[in-house]
Amino acid sequence: MPTTASSEHKDPQSVGIVETKIARFDSLTLDNGEIISPLEVAYETYGTLSAKKDNAILVCHALSGDAHAAGFHEGDKRPGWWDFYIGPGKAFDTNKYFIISSNVIGGCKGSSGPLTISSETNKAYRSSFPFVSIVDMVRAQEVLVSSFGIETLFAVAGGSMGGMQALQWSVAYPDRMKNCIVMASTAEHSAQQIAFNEVGRQAILADPNWNNGMYEDSTKPSKGLALARMMGHITYLSDEMMRDKFGRKPPKGNIQTTDFAVGSYLIYQGESFVDRFDANSYIYVTKALDHYSLGTGKELTKALSVVKCRFLVVAYTSDWLYPPYQSEEIVKSLEVNAIPVIFVELNNPAGHDSFLLQSEEQDSIIKDFLEFTDDPDGVIYG
């Protein structure tokens, strides 16, 4: 199976020009018994798989992410979503590790989902695509990983929804991974987190163009999806970040649209999101998030009792969408099970999006954790 594209780029720490590829498999049986056939998984790889195939790291993306985690697509000016941390000499050092990044099923960036063309109708499935869970997303990733001949992953890592996927890997395939990195995430959504997603979904459903999810490309529920993104984006930033960036400043340009700069920013975020994401996928993925649950307290401790890998759990003081207490619940349950775990709470003012943003401290924490893999107590953070 083909892997990485070119590594030529001006920045010596960049993986260079890359391309997203599609792996095709016969089928995948979902948790609800429905079958996706054929199964398509969009993916990218960076670095070289070792002869023993023991240096592979799977990175999992958040709600609106995709397989393009690092490097540049031909002609693009912006790199992949985790480019700060993937590349030669970076946290996920491509001189050492073989990085795999795939798009979740149910999404809209190349993997099987609502935009997939049905062989029966020769049209996109849209809302007739089967419900997909976090468990199903991970199962599809396992099929992809196995296709490389990889029996054991060196690590699985991700933030937010990606952290849920990493956590699910640790309980679904405990013998197939050595390290797990969970950032700004949780073992299950709280009522408040479900509420935010429900408002976004209702905005889409209220759009006149929704048409029960069977809309055409020319008449998409763009306004509803934009509003959903605006709502979601508010939760990604902290109060401090928004206060410092916008305050009560007026917008630039036409004030008939909004009275404040923060409003202008949110409108831009919503409108630009419509150009790169699908309304059905937004509903599918947010529902997968809301339905995922390993429980809390004793239930979570029991769920994590099968885990065999080391953990790095990272939380952010300013993250009010996935507050640190949810990360601490995961850590406590791991400790009860005597699972080696390092917990770090970073005082980053950027809010939930902190795990995506460049940080030398975060880069160092991830790098040290992976380097001290044979010595759980070899790296300590205050």
CA distance 211 to 205: 8
Could you confirm whether 319 is annotated as catalytic? yes
Does the annotation count 26 as an active-site position? no
What is the spatial distance between Cα 79 and Cα 16, in angstroms, rounded to a whole number? 9
Of the residues 352, 353, 354, 359, which is catalytic? 352
Q: How far apart are CA 343 and CA 361, in angstroms?
A: 14
Q: Which of these is catalytic: 319, 333, 353, 359?
A: 319
Contact 285, 104 (CB under 8 A): yes
Beta bridge partners of 44: 101
Q: Please enumerate in sequence order all residues whose Cβ is within 8 A of that of 377, keeping only pairs 6 or more positions apart, or say none.
A: none
Alpha-carbon span 340 to 86, nearest angstrom: 25
Q: Supply φ then ψ for residue 227, to 5 degrees.
A: -65, -40
β-partners of residue 172 are none
Provide the CA 162 distance to its chain's centre, in angstroms: 4
Candidates 101, 160, 185, 222; catalytic one: 160
Q: How many CA atoms are closer than 13 Å to the CA of 137, on its beta-carbon side?
A: 36
54 flagged as catalytic: no
The DSSP string of 254-323 is -TTT-SSHHHHHHHHHHHHHHTT--HHHHHHHHHHHHH-B--SHHHHHHHGGG--SEEEEEEETT-SSS-
Q: Which residues are catalytic?
A: 160, 319, 352
